[in-house]
Amino acid sequence: MQKILLYYKFTPITDPEAVKLWQKTLTDSLNLRGRILVSTQGLNGTVGGEVEDLKKYIKETKKFAGFKDIVFKWSDGGREDFPRMSVKARRELVGFQNSDDEFDVDENGVIGGGIHIKPREVHEMVEKHGDDVVFFDGRNAHEAKIGKFKNAVVPNTNTSRDFIAELESDKYDDIKNKKVITYCTGGIRCEAISAMMKKRGFTDVYQIDGGIVKYGESYGDDGLWEGSLRVFDNRMTVDFSDHAKTIGECTHCGGPTNNFENCAHMECNDLVLICLQCKQNPNLLFHTDECRYKHEAKLGASVNA
């Protein structure tokens, strides 16, 4: 039986290259696939494989002093959902661009971040404070097109690098004194974002402990979440139940869908939100008309070569 593990830990690492080599050797020995990032800020990973091998991975990884209390989240899937095992050392654990100047970490995580609250506490807060509670999406905007918390604020961001400029705008001045609950897939991005928000005048910031994944385990589609969860492997999307609401709209016909496809123009890294019917038309599998024109021009050049 196979599964996928999601995890992260903000903690100081003095030699990311050494940790990278150790993690690569460990994952290869257990026949795992996935993606792991290491930086001086900590560790972030998603790996798939046989359950017994994943349990061994957890045991060995927790032997490292800074990782002994990592919370590993289990998800459906397996090693075939990843093309290879990639382990990289980077300057930042999350690519906010210069986030190492934005916050510091210690063995307890991000210093000065928001208060961690459990899914149950999220519901208690909403029941008690109502409209004074604001959900703030810590993911990229395209992820929220297919799933988000009800009435959530969704920043206009295409990449993690856009968040700092977005937070420094005046768009969110009206919620700076409200109870703001940040959320993201597994918790890592919103832990960093919560610290950046507090630095910019947000006074009462929280984050869902374990992210959307943990919330989905607790409430599925019978709580405050609606839609599908975008994941960054071959699965593309995950539903928490058999009655998940479809909130995404096809780019072309406007019909309900949660289906993402890679742009047919190979040089474009963007995704197309497209229903299965429109997907049958190859001329619609492009992120923009410009992508289609470039693709057609490249094909024409190849034919005439």
Instruction: Return d(Cα 135, Cα 40) in angstroms, integer.
Output: 30
CA distance 48 to 31: 9
Concerning whether 263 is annotated as a catalytic residue, the answer is no
Q: How far apart are CA 211 and CA 8, in angstroms?
A: 11
Q: Which of 89, 124, 95, 92 is nearest to 219 (CA)?
A: 124
Tokens 């026949």 found at: 31
> Which tokens in the block code for residue 171?
């768009």
SS3 105: strand
Q: DSSP letters along 84-121, please?
A: SEEEEE-S-SS-SSSGGGT--EETTEETT-PEEE-HHH
Query: How far is 185 from 6, CA to CA, in rounded Å?
Result: 10
CB 211 within 8 A of CB 98: no
Catalytic residue from among 184, 275, 278, 291: 184
Please report which residue ranges of the chain form alpha helices under DSSP H.
16-29, 51-61, 119-129, 141-144, 163-168, 188-199, 211-219, 276-279, 289-304
Q: What residue type is 224 in one-letter code?
A: L
- Residues serving a catalytic function are 184
